[in-house]
Structure 1
Amino acid sequence: MKQTGVYILQSLKNGFYYTGSTDNIENRLTIHNKGWVKATKNMRPLLLMRFVSCNSITEAKSLEYRLKKYKRRDILERVIEDGIFPWDYTK
């Protein structure tokens, strides 16, 4: 089943995170784990930590780029844990 959205992967090799967007999460995860993506080729195996559904690939790419601006590990871990994006935090 095709699903459009933003995803966060974690490398089981080195613990690093990778953020991306797709219109087919199952296929994209397979592509990452086969080593066909230059950015994650040396991070395999990769585990899907969080997937957030979007209405369109345009929306997914927008969320991906916004999320990639936050480079801190603790912010990504918060998104993984509770699904709250940094711009949605309440003080």
Structure 2
Amino acid sequence: MYYTYVLQSDIDGKFYAGYTKDLKLRFDQHNKGLVESTRNRRPLRLIYYEACLHQGDALHREQYFKTYNGKRFLHKRLKSYLTG
């Protein structure tokens, strides 16, 4: 399985989307500062993930989450979470 995931920074509230084969390991790497793109945005929370059977599907979904429509999808999907 491959996982597409979305993290939210407690510092700036912004999202980070990525994909991985080992979600727990990757999340730990992000929070330990081992990922350069999120190092200065820690601590991070895992707020959403999807499982895919194929790597290409997970990559495609990650790229979608980084688009305007993908961000709108996430905000609609996570509406109750984001508004409290």
- Is TM-score (shorter-chain normalized) higher than 0.5? yes
1:49-85 per-position Cα deviation (integer Å, ceiling 9, x unaligned)? 0011111222100111122122785543223348xxx
The one-letter code matched in structure 1 to 2:9 is S
* Paired residues of 2:65 and 2:71 also in contact (CA < 8 A): no
Match of 2:9 among 11, 22, 33: 11
Match of 1:44 among 42, 48, 53: 42
- Root-mean-square deviation (Å): 2.2
Measured in 1, the distance between the counterparts of 2:48 and 2:72 equals: 14
* Paired residues of 1:54 and 1:60 also in contact (CA < 8 A): yes
Structure with the higher fraction of residues in helix conformation: 2
Structure with the higher fraction of residues in strand conformation: 2
- TM-score normalized by structure 2? 0.81
| Aligned-pair identity (%) | 32
Unaligned runs of at least 5 residues, structure 2: none
- TM-score normalized by structure 1? 0.75
